[in-house]
Structure 1
Amino acid sequence: MTIGPATEKLERFRNPDFWHRPANYWFWHRVPTEDEILNQLTTMREAGYGSFQVAVRLSWPLREYLSREYLTAVRTTADTARRLGLRMGIYDDYNWLSGHAGGKTVAGHDSFRESHLFWTASTVADGRAELTVSGIHATDVDWLLAQGAEWVFDGGSPRWADWELQGVFLRSDDGEDQDVTDRATIARSGPDGATVAVELPDAPAGARVAAALSARCVTSRMIDYLEPAAARRFTEVGLQPYVEALSDHIGDTVVYVFFDQPHSCFWDWTERTGTLGSSLMYSTTLRQAADRELDGGWRGILPALVFDDAGKAGARARFFSLYAATATKAFFGTVADWCHEHGLLFSGHEVLAHVGSWDITDVVIADDVRSNFGMDYFAIDAFRDVTAVDARNNDAQLSAKFGDSVARAHGRSGCIVEQYYARVEPGTHFGAGQWELRLSDLRAQAIRHHLLGARQFLEHAFWLTDGDDRDGREALFVNPRFDFPPGMNFEPWFGHHRAFADESAALSQFLDEFEPDTDVALVYPLSTVAGHGPAHPAGAHFAVWAETMARHGVPYRIVDERAVAGSRSDSGRIRIGDASYRCVVLPGVQLTLTEGFGEALVSARAAGVRVVTSGPTLAALDDGGTGEKDSVGARRPAPEDVLELLHGVRGSDMITVTPVDRRTLWTRTGRDRDATLYAAAFNDADTPAHLVVELPEGRWRFSRWTPSTGQVDTRDADRSFVLRVDAQEIVCVSAVRVPENKISLTDGWTLALAGREGVPVSVETPLEEQLPELLDGAVTYVRQVRIPPGNWELVLDGVRDAVEVFADGESAGRAAWLPYRFALDRFAGREVRLEIAVAPSAADRYYQGSPLRGRFSSRSGITRPPRLVRPPTGE
């Protein structure tokens, strides 16, 4: 009999498909020749890639994007990829920022250009107030320098028009806001800003006034993401040409459309006030939706946006919920529908505040990502067929874990992780990238991503050319050499890439063989961040929980507030979506808009689920009484707090892998439908580690899978054993429970104690809980047992004392530590008097009546029923 990995699993492990193999952005800086296409795609295949996306970069003349020559080269690329067995995705825009189609979406359609909401404040003097919006600049484009401005704006600079007054409000002494829009006019407007004049003859001097204005950037190539018509135009001019050029490749060689960070510009200005760190996208569609769905309508919500009032957090959160829903449906919904109509999967990634970090409120592109699509990552993912995220540099970070979590919330699993490199050296620029990248560092980052949830590692990037010898900031982006390097194929180590690619693919495939364990549900505090902004401590609290659990092997998933509200709890577990958890963590969750959220957690706690909080807490949970063990209060927890609060949440039916020295160990554990247990762990250190592998009760056949070679070795295993893992080594294991005949010996036991025999005793409870007198020496459990024919063992799981076993007075062995297994084959076919002599500690004898014992209590004797077990015969 062979008990080990099934043949089909071994085949997948040794020959992973393109979804598990590394992919790349293939940066084009000009039209490649047919020979270049063939040579570079052949190089990709030989280097172990399974797929790629053609990505046109800023060095490519903007006017030539989607030209006949370009589309002809794309067609040749697809033809060649088919012959070589590669797959291809459509990278859907010029450079990045999906939606503008290299400026074609707004060309001849100025109404599709981005519009924004600005606000400003002043005070009343002499019965009037003057409020100004000036100094408007796009903070994201500022970082892209002059060449970035030439890409984003016609003529290289922003110009504003169509100024419209949205609301003006007078703040009274009691904090109430009076709508005084009818007393205001736009006194001046122009391409660089506007001024509002308000006549307030009855207002006291010094009273505060705020105004909100909208305007359209008439030179921007960025689109109005709130309007479905703009998204439809994008599909017509930006995506339809690919379908027409690629025709029979669609749905075969060409599998999906990939969007990359769609967002309008992040605008700041001199007079910005309030809690929002950037302008908001604006459209009449949004205003009409607010009038329909928000209390007080559009005008009613504006004071919560323009004034810095903590008491209006709930109103802001409700606005951002509507804002996110309007934008995601308008853009992602429209493009997803188009993809499905044309037989293409929809993938890509939005702007993530936590790129390169664990903090969901961190700053990467903008100071306040709420102004993009409201940070509702779960809602965005509902439109995708393949989840994708991006990651920056080689720091351990949240991206893959969040990507996998939102995918699983929608019935999928895994994600694509786009890995790019930005320079962080003082005095330089992020676009200069990291030519000093080593393959060993790239490998380590890929492994971390895989263990946290990545199915495919997408490299940024494989290059058509490596640019020229120009240097300095004036060459950034337009000189390929300094456009987010490295170009992987121009690194001297690229000849070693195949070994990395094969290992990455095999690891990814191994991880796909099982469902990950889910001990902890980490709540994404979207409403809190939406209402209070990125300065709220929820982001920092979330980061500590997420990173600590990831580093120390606590299986968790990030969950949406809405899914928690729809949960059900019973017998110490809470069911959220398709997974159940023993613990729910609320990191700074102070606000929720979801009806039933607090009640669901109160019910969970009543059902025995551990509900853990840190930072500001929902009133509903405060009222329920948070015990000391379930909270660290308002302070941000330290990693040791996290581990202490989560102590004991792991179930006894799971496989665990832990380092003996409590170092960082990136892991994933779980089981498949056949109850095979799996674990993968990465020793992310420069020194060897010893890992303790623990399995549930029973006998196991253990397999060690080696991703770098495809080798799988199988052997018998004890329930607990130690593996030595070299520095930077990945270990993948599976364990199959070996079928064994078992006879549980639960009833009929008596105790021989102090010269007395025949005292009934339970083998499921410590002796101290059964005997009125103190233990004063060895005791013996006695029972008549028939040993069936064959090779049988007596197995004792629930004892930790010194033991000797006798059958009809003949010793069958002795043991004082695990494993307690005693061969009974020489007694097979007989009924015997089975005696288990247990020698406990001397605690009861010597501490009797002494206060020196303290609170310590012994647990002696047998606490789980003994078993007769017939081990497997043969291989």
Structure 2
Amino acid sequence: MNLEELKNPGVWYRPAPFWSWNDKLCEEELLRQIDEMYEKGYGGFFMHSRVGLVTEYLSEEWMRLVRSCAEHARKLGMLAWLYDEDRWPSGFAGGIVPLEKPEHRHKYLTLLKKDQIKPEDEILKKIERDGEEFYVVKRVMKLGDPWFNGTCYVDLLSRETTEAFLRSTHERYKKSCGDLFRVSIPGIFTDEPTYLRVHHPKETTLPWTERFPEEFLRRKGYDIRDHLEELFFNVKDYMKVRYDFFDVATSLFIENFTIPYAKWCEENGIFMTGHYMAEDTLRGQVEWIGAAMPHYEYMQIPGIDKLARHLEQVVTIKQVSSAAEQLGKKWVLCETFGTTGQHVSFLHRKWIADWQAVLGVTYINPHLSLYSMRGERKRDYPPNLFYQQPWWKNERFLSDYFARLNHIVTQGKREVKVLMIHPISSAWCVYSKFDDEIDKLNELFDTITKELVANKIDFHFGDEMILSKHGRVKEAKLRVGEYEYEVVVLPPLLNLKSSTVELLNSLAENGGKVFVLKDFRYGRFFPERVEGKKGRIEFLKKARVFETLEDLIEELKPFFSVDVLDTKTKENAKAVIAQKRVLEDGSYLLFLANTDIDREVHCHLELKEKRKHTYAIDLFDFKLVELKENEFVMFPASSVCIWVTDEEVPAEDEKVVSTGVLLEKEFDFETALNDFEVKMNSFNVLPVDRVEYFEAGGRVFRNEFVSKIWYEFYRLPDGTPFRVEYSFEVRKKPQKLFLVVECAENLDRITVNGREVRYERKSCIFNEEQNFLDVNFGKMEITDLVREGKNTVVLEGRKENNITGPGCHTRVKDPENHRPTEVETIYLVGDFSLVNVDETRYVIDAPKVPDHRDITRDGYPFYVGSFTLKKIFECKKDPGKRYFLKLNGVEAASVEVILNGKFLGVLFWRPFMIDITDALRNGKNELQLVLTNTLFNLIEANHKADVLEETFRRPKSFIDFEHHTDRYILLPFGLENVAVLSSSSR
């Protein structure tokens, strides 16, 4: 294994975020932001149109800026990825495609009653059911949808529509910067394409295209229009009809969208990447895309979307990694970290990335880095992972870790000997909006998938479409692409493709192992149908049938990748999941991740195959430590990479692996450090998020939260005059005080206590002298205008804004002369502390030294930035010992450790321990700790009572008035104390 390459992997292993192009774009600021990413260890970026974009999408100016960024990326050795749509879902080219020809517009079937039918609907069939009349209707999506820039979605079951999309988007990029393809532009991201965009909670909709009846007849031998009733009601041979319908729909989607898209990319030397809509569940796949896995065969870099602050989407990742590994695709992209919330910094991202890596993700695409945070943009499915975050200064550490992580999980070959048949064709058979059969099937599938992972029995899914092309029996094994499987598992299901039955019949005849798990929960699903019809399945006669999941897992134990016992329970440590990779020289890697973010696991490791040496590779600080004991503690969200080899390499005798693992069981206590000196490193902040008065267009609000006004403001016609008043209270006047207002330069007038303040924006580039946090947050000094007591800020201007709703915007007709205004929270920034009146109101007071255990509760509730703790302490140093700092009660995104002027490192997660031996002096020592937080306390949905419990943050979270509280929901920020520990073994 090349350890030098692992120490500093190249750009392909490094994160490449969604870079939100969401405003009037300034070339100089774009290049500055690329430099920020480069300095923080990112390997590239995806130029992604997002909510709030002012520069016209696909215009000459847009193309000029794309080219400029790609050229800058080339100079830096970075990857400048294209993105194929104005937001998402991909296919409509920002409205160009549906406007080109009516035939390109999205089509679907729906079941209606007579009074629901519209004049433009085409009735395909009348159905009488239990005395009621229903109509199967074909609908064409109307123009005028705000999400689609006043147009509509498109028909991706039509090859002609896909070709129009490629002409309008891809060919334009080729014309503008095709010479940079394969140079600094490696590929293009397609985002959530779907064969069915229209869904209603109580109405069934199904995918459709004009040629569907013709194609169905050619492929299935009968006219689907004679069997539309079976698609909606459980009558006649409905499972056969539904199987055939979704088989054809999925095939048409692949043939008419995915294949031509991927072919265009291949012919033009770039990669197709991205992800499809609703990959996570069987219901989602059937309703939106037919099946996820067959698409991955054609994508050069298949990918998925991992949203939310949890680890639920095991099936999603195993689907894409199975197809990629079987078909020899090195890179598996994951759009990740989106919707997790502004408090997500290092710990949560590592937790998610480690879990993804074990399951097969090899390319990390963080969501989201905002060009601008003004207005609605700051609410765009947080967190914002960029320069506006106070922790951004330490981002390089995590980028390097991610790069090494991706490098590890692309070395050698994953060891997998078990294949599980994917039940998507059974889902086609039972799909209905009127019952939950498909959800029960999904629940069983999800359960067995997670249990195999938790038991460290690695496996691939076998998609039946992929199996039909790439599967073959070799003696007593089933080979799919690059993998041979010793056992095939059928989870609870009821249907198989005829080609799958033939493969498994042959496998059974050749003595291969076929394990069939019965429906252990509902007693409904067992293989009895072939392509929707009941039929004989010969291999079942020779298959092993298991009544319970536990029995199946027991039989599969010989195929586990590694045995990790929890020494507290003496049982399998289910929270610890693993991937094993075999290298060319016969050595192997194990990557273990603790998926429990709350509990540590005391591990006992049993290796199936031993070698002369076992090393723990610290992927964070990059050290090799020889494992002399097979027991260690994995702290919450920790991970460890283990290399088992006959090769001897230089190694260190460390006690702490900086990815959250302790190799030493016990440490001696030396001393405790309390009562630190505290130094604030930035000004304090007071957000004023309640307005005393707002008036515009005949609408008046008094004493109201600004969140209640946002969408009233957005609905006003551009040019409407508005006036908004804010107030704040001062007990002790600060020596320095600044007012921060978004888009301040475009307001007609700003006054503080009746005296006018002028903000002159000197540059479109972020500058700390003119900006606070963000390029569009204007900062003005108002020290001389403020008085003790009540103070009033008045903003007057004319509404100009392209936001139309949560996460939604409209095209700006004249971007060059667009002068946007916002009605948002304003901020007071200065040298002060805050007095908490009643958790709903704060008063500016004299600056103070806060209690370092939690500055949020002691005068700095909305503070963003860092503060430094300093402590002088005595230590009698024993040369035969190693010494450690253990930080307790840490509530921070990161803690930088400096001892006697020497920077020792940054701590991000438990156990918050660091070796200080080399910097420690005998006698007097000076310790400095720099704690940094996140944007959460300042710009999150802080009045949503359940905001900390909500795992999926979205724009609507900020206007969830059902859960509104006048109190501020805030996170603590501080450190309780520090212990100095020692270990006698050096």
Residue pair 1:133, 1:271 contacting (<8 A) in 2 also: no
Q: Kindly indicate whether residue 405 of structure 2 is the aligned counterpart of residue 503 of structure 1.
A: no
Deviation for aligned residue 1:209: 5.2
Deviation for aligned residue 1:710: 2.5
Deviation for aligned residue 1:352: 2.6
How far apart in 1 are the matches of 2:69 and 2:634? 43
1:421 to 302, 326, 338: 338
Are residues 550 and 655 of structure 1, via their aligned partners in 2, closer, same or farther at CA, if it must alter by over 3 Å? closer
Query: In angstroms, what is the RMSD of aligned CA positions?
Result: 2.9
Residue pair 1:403, 1:414 contacting (<8 A) in 2 also: no
**Residues 213-267 of structure 1: per-residue CA shift (max 9 Å, x gap):** 2121231421111111111111111222222222321111001011000126643
How far apart in 1 are the matches of 2:20 and 2:201? 38
Name the counterpart of 1:216: 140
How far apart in 2 are the matches of 1:79 and 1:494? 25
Q: Kindly indicate whether residue 356 of structure 2 is the aligned counterpart of residue 449 of structure 1.
A: yes
Name the counterpart of 2:179: 248
SS in 2 for 1:417: strand
2:98 to 94, 106, 116: 106
Residue pair 2:616, 2:642 contacting (<8 A) in 1 also: yes
Deviation for aligned residue 1:372: 2.7
Are residues 630 and 234 of structure 1, via their aligned partners in 2, closer, same or farther at CA, if it must alter by over 3 Å? same
- TM-score (norm: length of structure 1): 0.66
**Residues 369-403 of structure 1: per-residue CA shift (max 9 Å, x gap):** 4233212x222112210011001113112232222
Name the counterpart of 1:704: 616
**Residues 80-104 of structure 1: per-residue CA shift (max 9 Å, x gap):** 1112221111111001111111101
Are residues 107 and 682 of structure 1, via their aligned partners in 2, closer, same or farther at CA, if it must alter by over 3 Å? same
2:82 to 78, 87, 90: 90
Counting only pairs closer than 5 Å after superposition, residues 649-660 of structure 1 correspond to structure 2 as 649-650=559-560, 656-660=563-567
Q: Kindly indicate whether residue 579 of structure 2 is the aligned counterpart of residue 579 of structure 1.
A: no
Deviation for aligned residue 1:38: 2.1
Name the counterpart of 1:591: 495
Q: One-letter code of the match for 2:59?
A: S
Q: Kindly indicate whether residue 56 of structure 2 is the aligned counterpart of residue 73 of structure 1.
A: no
SS in 2 for 1:267: coil
How far apart in 2 are the matches of 1:694 and 1:610? 28
Q: Which has the larger radius of gyration?
A: 1
Residue pair 2:276, 2:304 contacting (<8 A) in 1 also: yes
Name the counterpart of 1:728: 637
How far apart in 2 are the matches of 1:599 and 1:34? 57
Residue pair 1:317, 1:593 contacting (<8 A) in 2 also: no
Q: One-letter code of the match for 1:326?
A: L
Q: One-letter code of the match for 2:401?
A: E
Name the counterpart of 1:535: 437
Are residues 563 and 328 of structure 1, via their aligned partners in 2, closer, same or farther at CA, if it must alter by over 3 Å? closer
Q: One-letter code of the match for 1:166?
A: L
Counting only pairs closer than 5 Å after superposition, residues 471-482 of structure 1 correspond to structure 2 as 479-482=376-379
Q: One-letter code of the match for 2:408?
A: F
Deviation for aligned residue 1:570: 6.9
Deviation for aligned residue 1:25: 0.5
Name the counterpart of 1:36: 29
Q: Kindly indicate whether residue 399 of structure 2 is the aligned counterpart of residue 488 of structure 1.
A: no
How far apart in 2 are the matches of 1:310 and 1:74? 56
Q: Which runs of 5+ in 1 are unaligned?
A: 122-130, 135-159, 172-205, 273-277, 355-359, 363-367, 423-432, 469-478, 740-875
How far apart in 1 are the matches of 2:503 and 2:66? 55
Name the counterpart of 1:319: 245
How far apart in 1 are the matches of 2:136 and 2:563? 56
Are residues 699 and 434 of structure 1, via their aligned partners in 2, closer, same or farther at CA, if it must alter by over 3 Å? closer
Name the counterpart of 1:230: 161
How far apart in 2 are the matches of 1:301 and 1:508? 49
How far apart in 1 are the matches of 2:91 and 2:59? 17
SS in 1 for 2:249: helix
Name the counterpart of 1:684: 595
How far apart in 1 are the matches of 2:267 and 2:609? 52
**Residues 598-617 of structure 1: per-residue CA shift (max 9 Å, x gap):** 66158438725251313211
Residue pair 1:455, 1:508 contacting (<8 A) in 2 also: yes
Are residues 612 and 58 of structure 1, via their aligned partners in 2, closer, same or farther at CA, if it must alter by over 3 Å? same
Runs of 4+ in 1 over 6 A off after TM superposition: none
Counting only pairs closer than 5 Å after superposition, residues 462-473 of structure 1 correspond to structure 2 as 462-468=369-375
1:554 to 438, 457, 469: 457
Deviation for aligned residue 1:22: 1.1
Residue pair 1:87, 1:253 contacting (<8 A) in 2 also: yes
Residue pair 1:562, 1:594 contacting (<8 A) in 2 also: no
Are residues 704 and 163 of structure 1, via their aligned partners in 2, closer, same or farther at CA, if it must alter by over 3 Å? same
SS in 1 for 2:429: helix
Q: One-letter code of the match for 1:361?
A: L
How far apart in 2 are the matches of 1:673 and 1:487? 40
Name the counterpart of 2:211: 285
Counting only pairs closer than 5 Å after superposition, residues 274-673 of structure 1 correspond to structure 2 as 278-309=204-235, 311-354=237-280, 360-361=281-282, 368-375=284-291, 377-396=292-311, 397-398=313-314, 399-422=316-339, 434-468=341-375, 479-489=376-386, 490-533=388-431, 535-536=437-438, 537-562=440-465, 567=471, 573-597=477-501, 600=504, 603-604=507-508, 607=511, 609-615=513-519, 616-619=525-528, 624=540, 630-632=545-547, 637=549, 640=550, 643-650=553-560, 656-660=563-567, 661=569, 662-663=572-573, 664-673=575-584
Q: One-letter code of the match for 2:161?
A: A
Residue pair 2:411, 2:581 contacting (<8 A) in 1 also: no
SS in 2 for 1:500: helix
Are residues 492 and 594 of structure 1, via their aligned partners in 2, closer, same or farther at CA, if it must alter by over 3 Å? farther
Name the counterpart of 1:847: none
How far apart in 1 are the matches of 2:500 and 2:323? 21
Residue pair 2:457, 2:557 contacting (<8 A) in 1 also: no
Q: One-letter code of the match for 2:234?
A: D
Q: One-letter code of the match for 1:291?
A: L
Deviation for aligned residue 1:568: 5.3
Deviation for aligned residue 1:524: 0.9
How far apart in 2 are the matches of 1:567 and 1:691? 38
How far apart in 2 are the matches of 1:691 and 1:622? 44
Name the counterpart of 2:116: 133
Are residues 441 and 642 of structure 1, via their aligned partners in 2, closer, same or farther at CA, if it must alter by over 3 Å? farther
Residue pair 2:196, 2:289 contacting (<8 A) in 1 also: no
- TM-score (norm: length of structure 2): 0.59
SS in 2 for 1:675: coil
Name the counterpart of 1:165: 123
Deviation for aligned residue 1:704: 2.5
Deviation for aligned residue 1:19: 2.3
How far apart in 2 are the matches of 1:698 and 1:501? 32
Are residues 659 and 51 of structure 1, via their aligned partners in 2, closer, same or farther at CA, if it must alter by over 3 Å? farther
Are residues 350 and 623 of structure 1, via their aligned partners in 2, closer, same or farther at CA, if it must alter by over 3 Å? closer
Q: One-letter code of the match for 1:49?
A: Y
SS in 2 for 1:648: helix
Deviation for aligned residue 1:572: 6.1
Deviation for aligned residue 1:482: 0.9
Deviation for aligned residue 1:701: 2.6
Residue pair 2:282, 2:424 contacting (<8 A) in 1 also: no
Residue pair 2:326, 2:483 contacting (<8 A) in 1 also: no
How far apart in 2 are the matches of 1:72 and 1:391? 32
Are residues 284 and 610 of structure 1, via their aligned partners in 2, closer, same or farther at CA, if it must alter by over 3 Å? closer
**Residues 691-737 of structure 1: per-residue CA shift (max 9 Å, x gap):** 3443456652323221112323458x7xx943444443321122224
